[in-house]
Structure 1
């Protein structure tokens, strides 16, 4: 039961990232580029201190490190730029759709082809997400925003795959954040800084970076080697559902029938697509 619990905890951290980002940026407390930069800086500081405190050196010069750092930066920057012109629901669909394709393709390349049950489960779960997230009456999809979110999805998929070969998840995550930081500062230097951040915006970005991103991503790196790529892809489809449910709870709103039924479809699809031993363990 320990692995399913830790996976669920990690998905909750990812969902909290989404809530903190929307809370800070949508309220105008900080720009999306500023949030991303401060998020990575806070994550680097938290993870670096923890790794050094445990006597671990940061593997900054390792060849794998640049894959992790570049993919992390691609995710952070792409995510930040996409939501300047993209509806939140459509953005989440593009992001998780690209992550699914990336990880499923990787599963085939490493000789772990998907079975019919996994394919069906993924289709059912993603169909549930479309039902929940697609805006009523349709939505205008910005090509630039969609392209940025595709980059973010590819970045996160590659970042997840890069974690499969890591031995020291904490030190590797700290090095990834530290090396990704200069790249995540670039948007601030090309006119995307936006208005000056407020203290609430800075605080939310630091919480996201140090706790739900830094510690959450380090935990993900510790878990990814124990998960098949297809399993890692499918469990992440639960993140938008958790974020929506948590958002409704925090706002004191009763979840609508569409959310309740759609969430059931998503979770049912995930359960259908998980390997048999994972379903038995919870």
Structure 2
């Protein structure tokens, strides 16, 4: 029953993660909102929807770990939105979760997770798929945007790693969102020249924050204790594939040979990793 639940829940969470990329890109591409305001509203709406978890608990405490985790969440959200100004939905998601995988694999190895030959090959293959997309050429993404998305991925990896130890996913996620809001608002002062929004941008931000982020992150945090770091990171590489399909359908983004090849290689890598069980689980 537990395995059946994971089979149903994990794809739902991955779809939500891909939806974040699409909602952000639709909002930014249409000029409905700027990147910083989008991330601010995303965090604010997420914090509001999660408030009941905090109200029902007397355990809300601001500690070094909660502040650090909130900083990871804020960094991920802000870098994510700014990077998407010049990135396609699928390409951005592939860079994001490629860096997530590399960070989490290194963390897992450091903590004693034994890879095994098949898993090592799977990780290498999946990262090779990412490199295919990033190779220099007319279709390669802008370097500055790619670097910002890499930073976003590192922040998300750190946030995910922290979630492996949580005992109360709802309360923990609520605290992270609530504390991330003032951090994100503080950064807005450095980008005050280009702040703008309309009703469509606000709606898309709220959908991203309340549904595709807050709700999905609670579920993700509840799943993480059952997943080793390598599997958790590699599963997330399915998100770019979903985002590319969504980008082609909703945003008329091209599915060129480079993107399709990159996606296929990544999927092969994921299959190799999830079919091979880890020797130890942290």
Is the TM value for this pair above 0.5?
Answer: yes
- Which consecutive residues of structure 1, in runs of 5 or more, have no partner in the other structure? none
Residues 127-150 of structure 1, C-alpha deviations (whole Å, 9 max, x = no match): 33454676862436334x344333
**Which residue in 1 is equivalent to 2:80?**
79
**Which residue in 2 is equivalent to 1:26?**
29
So what's the TM-score if we normalise by structure 1? 0.86
Residues 145-184 of structure 1, C-alpha deviations (whole Å, 9 max, x = no match): 3443332121111000000110110110000000011111
Whether the aligned pair in 2 keeps the contact of 1:231 and 1:275 (CA below 8 Å) is no
Distance (whole Å) between structure 2 residues aligned to residue 254 and residue 157 of structure 1: 28
Residues 236-270 of structure 1, C-alpha deviations (whole Å, 9 max, x = no match): 11101011112334468996676656544322221
Q: 1:18 to 1:106 in 2, by over 3 A?
A: same
**Which residue in 1 is equivalent to 2:169?**
169
Q: 1:257 to 1:272 in 2, by over 3 A?
A: same
**Which residue in 2 is equivalent to 1:159?**
159
Could you tell me which of 5, 11, 14 is aligned with 1:11? 14
Distance (whole Å) between structure 2 residues aligned to residue 129 and residue 85 of structure 1: 18
Q: How many residues align?
A: 275
- Equivalent residues in 2 for 1:45-194, closer than 5 Å: 45-49=48-52, 51-52=53-54, 55-57=56-58, 59-84=60-85, 91-131=92-132, 137-139=138-140, 141-143=142-144, 145-192=145-192, 194=194
Name the stretch that deviates more: 254-263 or 219-228. 254-263
Distance (whole Å) between structure 2 residues aligned to residue 191 and residue 243 of structure 1: 27
Q: 1:207 to 1:142 in 2, by over 3 A?
A: same
- Which consecutive residues of structure 2, in runs of 5 or more, have no partner in the other structure? none
Distance (whole Å) between structure 1 residues aligned to residue 139 and residue 254 of structure 2: 24
Name the stretch that deviates more: 63-72 or 259-268. 259-268
Q: 1:87 to 1:248 in 2, by over 3 A?
A: closer
Name the stretch that deviates more: 196-205 or 258-267. 258-267
Distance (whole Å) between structure 1 residues aligned to residue 189 and residue 79 of structure 2: 16
3-state SS of the aligned residue for 1:165?
coil
**Which residue in 2 is equivalent to 1:204?**
204
Residues 12-52 of structure 1, C-alpha deviations (whole Å, 9 max, x = no match): 00000000000001110000000000000000000113x14
Distance (whole Å) between structure 1 residues aligned to residue 255 and residue 139 of structure 2: 21
Distance (whole Å) between structure 2 residues aligned to residue 194 and residue 253 of structure 1: 25
Q: 1:23 to 1:107 in 2, by over 3 A?
A: same
Whether the aligned pair in 2 keeps the contact of 1:59 and 1:65 (CA below 8 Å) is no
Q: 1:192 to 1:119 in 2, by over 3 A?
A: farther
Q: Shift in Å at residue 199 of structure 1?
A: 0.2
3-state SS of the aligned residue for 1:191?
helix
Name the stretch that deviates more: 171-180 or 100-109. 100-109
